[in-house]
Amino acid sequence: MKQVELPAAPATLAGPVKAWSAPLVIPTYEPAPAERNPMFLEKRVFQGSSGRVYPLPVVDRIGPELRDKSWAALHIENEYLRVTVLPELGGRIYAVVDKINGYDLVYRNRVIKPALVGLAGPWLSGGIEFNWPQHHRPSTYMPSAWEIVGESDGSRVIWLSEHEPMNRMKGMHGVRLSPGKACLELAVRLHNRTELTQTFLWWANVATEVHEDYQSFFPEDVHFIADHAKRATSAFPGCEGRYYGVDYAARARDGVPPEEAPAQFVPKRGYAPNDLRWYANIPVPTSYMCLGSRDDFFGGYDHAVEAGIVHVANHHISPGKKQWTWGNHDFGYAWDRNLTEPDENGVYWPYVEIMAGVYTDNQPDFSFLAPGETKTFSQYWYPIREIGAAAAATLKAAIGLKLAGTRLTVGVQATEAVAGARVIVSAGGRLLADAGTDLDPARPFFIPVDLAQGIESDDVRVVVEQDGAVLVERRPADRGEMTIPPPATEPPPPEEIDSADELWMTGVHLDQYRHATRPADIYWREAIRRDPGDSRCNTALGIWHLRRGEFAMAEACFRQAIERLTRRNPNPPTGEAHYHLGLALRYLGRPAAAYDALYKATWNAAWRGPAHLALAEIDGTRGAFAEALDHVEESLRHDVENALARNLKAALLIRLGRKAEADALLAETLARDPLDARARALKGLPLDGDDQLFLDVAIEAARGGFVEDALALLETRIATVGAAASPLLHYHAAALAGRLGKPVAPHLDAAAKALPDYCFPSRLEDIAVLEAAIAANPADGRAPCYLGNLLYDRRRHAEAIVLWEKAVAVDPSWSIPWRNLGIGSFNVEGSPEKAVAAYDKALAAAPQDARLVYERDQLWKRIGRSPAERLAELESRLDLVASRDDLSVELSALYNQLGQPEKSAPLIAGRAFQPWEGGEGLALDQWVRSHLGLGRRALAAGNAAAAVAEFEAALNPPQSLGEARHLLANQSDVHYWLGKALKAAGRDDEAKRWFTLAAEFAGDFLGMEVRAYSEKTFFSALSLLALGRKAEAEKLLGELRAYAEETMTSPAKIDYFATSLPTMLLFDDDLQLRRRVSAHVMLAEAAIGLGDPATGREHLQAALKLDPNHALAADLLGDLPNR
């Protein structure tokens, strides 16, 4: 497939920098429609933090057809660079082309081919993705508003903006090119447009096309790297131990083992096999983040074409320097195929991601954004040519060093013309070269230097200056003693922490990092148990309740904190508790008390700005506009960038008849942010956004007392989108109408009749609006369901269940609340019977909803329904099974479980599967199990040749599975059975090879982690026995038994440092039961291997009693009569 051609600039555009909009036709796979049911994924781990997806709908299937699609595209170019942006796909940069040599600085994908990698499903590879407020960006596949702006110096900027869907903060980035500069600037503005402190990270995810000659480069002061959450660390660039389970130390010592050798992109430049800078060296999916660099650059270089990319940013606020790869092996190649199409030569080109993090140095690593706060920063990228990997770089220039024998070539690549530059090369105080030149961004400058004996390239200092000002400097390498930093550690449970301070801080950390499986509140509650007046923990717990909409509980916590804070001093050192008390009281409908608390918060500088803004809003709601103006100006004295305060001031000026001042303020605001929605609305400009953005603006206006404006905005939006309007528009319009004394019934009736799809309320303001609607219109069964969704997401489970029960009582024909009751009945109430009944009613209401079929089957599986019963049900709905990967996998698994591999194998072979990142292996497992079953059947029938063919098929899955076996995953079961079949066929030498491979494989890769033993270890022991190595087999089986005994008695828990556990199951899993089942299976294996099949049978029967669907237990039990 050919590369997508970028359109030329219109002839009507003049000047060195041109920016324009022109559509781009790109072959595209379209995502399937999003799931209508809300997804409550409370324990899902995604990129090292919470994988909670609500209020976003989930897409779990990508359409199979590749069709040309015309995408909106924005283009900008100057003399040196050409950039294309796709606003409909999160405002990502699609292409950056060096106009001098035609090199693509970033991976320009030939297609739009999303895969299930994102938080809500679809995610694209290539270009530059801007990830915030978490990784990956929740809105990565959603449209951004855009505007092209010209600047006085001739620069042009493409601005892109969104209100992110999780917490409604505003993020925007501007793609800027300037005349005469071979450098792309990304200007970023992050604005917390909420009243609560939020957490965020920000990463620019730059993809670059790679092969065996591609090298990532980092500053020379980077000697150590860390994994996600700093759970592991390593030396760098040469890894001296294990990293991601790969023994790089052994690679450096002995070379790459044959089984780890890549099938393509084989290293050939002579670099060390443990050098992590080279894509070709890394066989498994791997992330690393640099530790401790004091330099401002990094990037990548393609030695085959002598071109690369440099990133530059202030390391004091942009410390994040990361590389990610899928790996140069089968597992990674499968993901390459999932994310792109082959070029004209049939190559699915891989990429690495060289990511830049701002206010973050790891993933997860979140920073705080205060109420109303705006953070601004810039990132820069530019091309380098022929100089090699950069050894030093600034915004002005990069230095590269190429060593051939004793000849060192110093290369300098400038980003703009520099007249009268001077390049000075020295080593150990000795001048090696001194040359004057005019630097030109269109071509690099080179100085050859011969290194005298005893001088190494690490000793060389290079300075590029102009008129005595240093433009860039390469310093000699630091050779001091260094120690690898220790990895992060898991915090102990609350009861084991002695210090109240550490209890508070641990809770803060868990909350800040959005930990998926360890709640923060248990640490604060432990501190309060010991000391009920602990001010910090009461404040933290109060904010925790406030975010959940539990305003009365929040008030109680804040008052407890304030009682301690003011016991000896009426003027506490922080206004945090008073400020949040004011917010809670405002939500409780007690504005006078809120006013007092907020005013006390203004005594503290840190809370003066947000508190004065909240006071101004309360003033506005009571018509005291002059007082409101005084308060908002006080807020702006604290933070002139606060767009909430700026826009409230503009609205107040208009209301007070001072329109000229308002116009001037709005013009200044829109110069800062041309896509500020409230400012645009006040200016009478059109808004570019969905229903949620209009709600944001309306809520913001109404909170400051401009209820008429808010209602008018919503009514205009409703009239514009008609029947497609979200029910929330109608409910909020009803609430606003009620505040104005207008009829609410028309709005409430419209809300009750509006299309309910994807109505997933999530704002605190939605709570009161929906409560009022429920009280005013008991005949509306929708509002209780919507509010139940919000409360369940806030983990107010019991209240949500009551609301869903109210919803089905009013409208028993709506499937969604029945389905939600099924989840709540099982997870919260512990009632499987009630859960099954609720799902039955949901399916009766929506018999064609394949998601419900899948979820009910998982519920049945979870409660131990027999495989035969589950199979009968799925076979009665084969039309729906065929529409979903997960149902197809389950049907295949049931065929295998019931001894029908001849049905399972064609089912798996006949479908193109789409795995979730981190959830790979489901289809592959059934492929392998099917062919193992067929092979064992053939072997038992005496047909060794057929058995060999089946076992070989198990090792060679089709590409249609969308996945391949991880390099570290244990395949000893297949290797063992293949050895058995080959021996039966009289091919002893080949059998011995496979037995040996199984016998010598150690460990396994399960649940996204490396383990020392697993249920597959048994087959290593059987292979040892087949090889006549009985003592080794018995030793291994003894170790397996000891491991199983320890597994049986030790408590089960999710790995604290888990990076990706993307299970889409909604039902709480019994981890201890699962652990016991696995322990029974391993104990059975040990007993069978040690000659005690009777004990083995007992353990297998115990395992199947606990879990009738356990695959290996069923297979082993079926094989016992043959032993």
Predicted pLDDT of residue 1000: 95
Please give the residue that has the higher pLDDT: either 45 or 838: 838
Which residue's entry shows tokens 């909430």?
644
Residue 680 lies in a domain: no
* Dist. CA 61–CA 571, nearest whole Å: 57
Tokens of 214: 């591609």
**Residue closest to 399 by CA, chosen among 442, 337, 462:** 462
Number of domains in the chain: 4
| pLDDT reported for residue 477 | 82
Final residue belonging to a domain, choices 432, 447, 474? 474
Task: State yes or no: pLDDT of 1064 exceeds 60.
Answer: no
Instruction: Evaluate if residue 557 carries a pLDDT over 70.
Output: yes
- Domain match, 306 and 424 both: no
Q: pLDDT for 1021-1055, tens place per residue?
A: 999 999 999 999 999 999 999 999 999 999 988 88
Count, in order, helices (H) and strands (E) of the chain.
36, 39
pLDDT in the model for residue 1114: 95
Task: Please give the average per-residue pLDDT across 461-481, as a whole number.
Answer: 92
If asked whether residues 359 and 416 sit together in one domain, one would say no
470 and 375 share a domain?
no
- pLDDT at site 191: 98
Model confidence at 90: pLDDT above 70: yes
Say whether both 1005 and 1059 belong to one domain: yes
Pairing of β 233-235 and β 81-86: unpaired
pLDDT at 941 over 80: yes
Arithmetic mean of pLDDT, 227-233 = 95
The tokens for 139 are 């809105």
Is the separation of the CB atoms in 795 and 548 below 8 Å? yes
Query: How large is the average pLDDT for residues 732-757?
Result: 98
Structure tokens at 915: 């795995």
Predicted pLDDT of residue 1052: 87
Q: Which two tokens stand for residue 1120?
A: 């016992």
How far is residue 890's CA from residue 862's CA, in Å, rounded to a whole number? 13
Judge if 925 and 989 occupy the same domain: yes
| 1056 and 1095 in a common domain | yes
Q: Which residue has the tokens 């879990």?
A: 1107
Contact in structure between 791 and 823 (CB atoms under 8 Å): no
- Alpha-carbon gap, residue 171 to 144, rounded angstroms: 10
Domain hosting residue 309, numbered range: 18-382
Shared domain for 375 and 421, answered yes or no, is no
- Let me know whether 418 and 370 are in one domain: no
Cβ atoms < 10 Å from Cβ of 403 = 14
Q: Is residue 560 part of a domain?
A: no
pTM: 0.96
The answer to whether residue 821 is domain-embedded is no
Would the pLDDT of 616 be above 80? yes
Within 588-699, strands assigned E span none
Q: What percent of the chain has pLDDT over 70?
A: 99
The reply to whether 134 falls in a domain is: yes
Is 277's pLDDT higher than 80? yes
**DSSP readout, 530-549?**
H-TT-HHHHHHHHHHHHHTT
Task: Clarify whether residues 352 and 443 are in a common domain.
Answer: no
- Kindly state whether residue 246 falls inside one of the protein's structural domains: yes
Residue where a domain stops, chosen among 730, 761, 780: 780
Nearest of 862, 864, 916, 817 to residue 1068 by alpha carbon: 862
Does residue 1008 register a pLDDT over 80?
no
Hey, is 48 helix, strand or coil? coil
Position 956 in a domain: yes
| pLDDT (0 to 100) of residue 1123 | 60
184 and 330 share one domain: yes
- What pLDDT score was predicted for residue 1010? 85
Quote the distance between the C-alpha of residue 689 and its chain's center: 23
DSSP characters for 211-264? -TTEEEE--TT--EEE-GGG-SEEESSB--SEETTEEHHHHHHH---GGG--SS
pLDDT band at 776 (very low <50, low <70, confident <90, very high): very high
Task: Take residue 590 and report the two structure tokens written for it.
Answer: 């007690």
The CATH number covering residue 218 comes to 2.70.98.10
Q: What is the mean pLDDT of the chain?
A: 97
- Residue in the structure block whose two tokens are 């060390």: 272
Q: In sequence order, which ranges of 811-900 are alpha helices (DSSP H)?
A: 815-827, 832-845, 850-862, 867-875, 878-881, 885-897
**Domain-embedded: residue 511:** no
44 shares a domain with 159: yes
Let me know whether 435 and 376 are in one domain.
Answer: no
Phi, psi of 334 (to 5 degrees): -60, -40
What CATH number has the domain bearing residue 892?
Answer: 1.25.40
> From CA 563, how far away is CA 837, in angstroms rounded?
49
Long-range contacts of 942-949 (CB under 8 A, 24+ apart): 944/981, 944/982, 944/984, 944/985, 944/986, 945/985, 947/977, 947/980, 947/981, 947/984, 947/985, 948/978, 948/981, 948/982, 948/985, 948/987
826 located within any domain: no
Pairing of strands 307-312, 224-226: unpaired
Per DSSP, the three-state class of 586 is helix
Helix or strand run (H / E) with residue 473? strand 469-474
Residue 1097 is predicted with a pLDDT of 97
Question: Last residue of some domain: 721, 751, 780?
Answer: 780
| Mean pLDDT across 498-525 | 97
Q: How confident is the model at residue 478 (pLDDT cuts 50, 70, 90)?
A: confident
Q: What does the pLDDT look like over 401-460, one tens digit per residue?
A: 999 999 999 999 999 999 999 999 999 989 999 999 999 999 999 999 999 888 999 999
pLDDT at position 44 is 85
pLDDT for 280-315, tens place per residue?
Answer: 999 999 999 999 999 999 999 999 999 999 999 999
The HSE-up count of residue 130 (CA atoms within 13 Å, CB side) is 28
Return the CATH number at 741.
1.25.40.10
Asked whether residue 685 carries a pLDDT value surpassing 80, the answer given is: yes
Sign of CA dihedral 144, 145, 147, 153: negative
Residue type present at position 200: F
CA distances from 184 to 84, 179, 539 (A): 12, 11, 44
Distance CA 684, CA 756 (A): 31
Two structure tokens written together for 55: 């209020």
